[in-house]
Amino acid sequence: MKIFGQHDEKTLVQFNNVRTQAVDAALMADGHVGYVMPIGGVAAYRNQISVVGVGFDIACGNAAIRTDLTVESLGRDPGEVQKALSSFADEIANTVSFGIGRKNRADDAPVDHALFESATWDAVPGKHRQALQVKARQQLGTVGSGNHYVDVFSDEQGALWVGVHFGSRGFGHSVASAFLALGQGKEWGERVPETEVLLDIAQPVGHDYWHLMNLAGEYAYAGREWVARKVVSLLGGTERELVHNHHNFAWKEVHDGEDVVVIRKGATPAFPGQKGFVGGSMGDDAVIVRGTAADVASSTVKDAQRDALYSTVHGAGRVMSRTMAAGKRVRRTGRQLSRGLVSPGMMESWVREKGVTLRGGGVDESPHVYRRLPDVLSAQEGTIEVLHVLKPLIVVMAGANEFDPYKD
């Protein structure tokens, strides 16, 4: 067991509850309270998988594309660059679908992707299958709400990158909810408490969940790559490099000579040499990282990598809840019941000073509610190397005060 960084008591209680049932477990430095298993938690099981461990937004993850464009290509002076950024931000917001229950409005939406022909769909009960496929087709390539985004960055050389963060949308949420019910002896579609459910992947229910989880992973990859490439085309650029990873998922891996199922909930795979994209916040830098290579890692770092189950952070990590940040509102009307700790002015000031062109976003996603990413990365004890620091130029998110049941 390994705990990186400092955490509040509730997060540690969740982590300790998880590790009592796991073969091994680790908690990343961006950890915070989640549903049953903390965000930033990693757990290994023998032939079992945790439905709430993977989470409701199955295969939530990040993708980043380095383009052939540079900041200089946007204009000859700061005013011209800012005008171009503002125009691109509007175009992204008007082209990509953000928010709950949205349909992909684009003519080239990937609705005919090969994943829809997979035999795995047969694991969905017949009376639910068509509706779920329709929902999945309509939402493929939509970003959602909460902390999900499309960003444009510049790196230390001035190269432009496009980064996205979201998962398998309503498809993944439906699968997770259904198997949470099935694992508690209920029917597909029944509402049940969010409690720990460990499924044996050799048994019918666990087998079906495993395959549908992997289909949701394929779905999320297709959606993120479509959105990222769509934005690259809006910028008029060409793709030079793709870094792509899930951080709400389960993998079959070998650790210490044993075959295990490793669940990373809000944690990025970081085997030696493996690249990952880790976001900060709407007003902070992001990074491209790589698991520290074995030929340069000290014995201490190698031990930490093994103890981390070859995982790292997926973001900066929240330090306050959405309600604490934004206050409490009536969900349907938006009427304010109590004030939060972060005001729109505070958020706007931070983002303005950072030079970010923002579209959408609410104070529950303000930089104030997150740790600082350099501190979080440092707490990972040298298990990763930072390859690129990405400065945000454009951040596009769903509008404020929009509830999203599919966010991670």
- 408 pLDDT band (50/70/90 cuts)? very low
The CA dihedral of 256, 260, 264, 269, to the nearest 10 degrees, is: 50
234 three-state secondary structure: helix
- pLDDT of 124-163, one tens digit each? 999 999 999 999 999 999 999 999 999 999 999 999 999 9
Q: Which residues contact 61 (CB under 8 A, 6 or more apart)?
A: 165, 167, 220, 221, 224, 244, 245, 246, 247, 248, 249
pLDDT for the residue 276: 98
Q: What domains are there in the chain, each with its CATH number?
A: 2-106+143-169+227-399 (3.90.1860.10)
| pTM of model > 0.85 | yes
- pLDDT of 13-36, one tens digit each? 999 999 999 999 999 999 999 999
- pLDDT of 62-114, one tens digit each? 999 999 999 999 999 999 999 999 999 999 999 999 988 888 989 999 999 99
Q: What is the mean pLDDT of the chain?
A: 95
- 5 pLDDT band (50/70/90 cuts)? very high
Interhelix angle 169-182/126-139, rounded to 10 degrees, is 150
The answer to whether 71 and 160 have CB atoms below 8 angstroms apart is yes
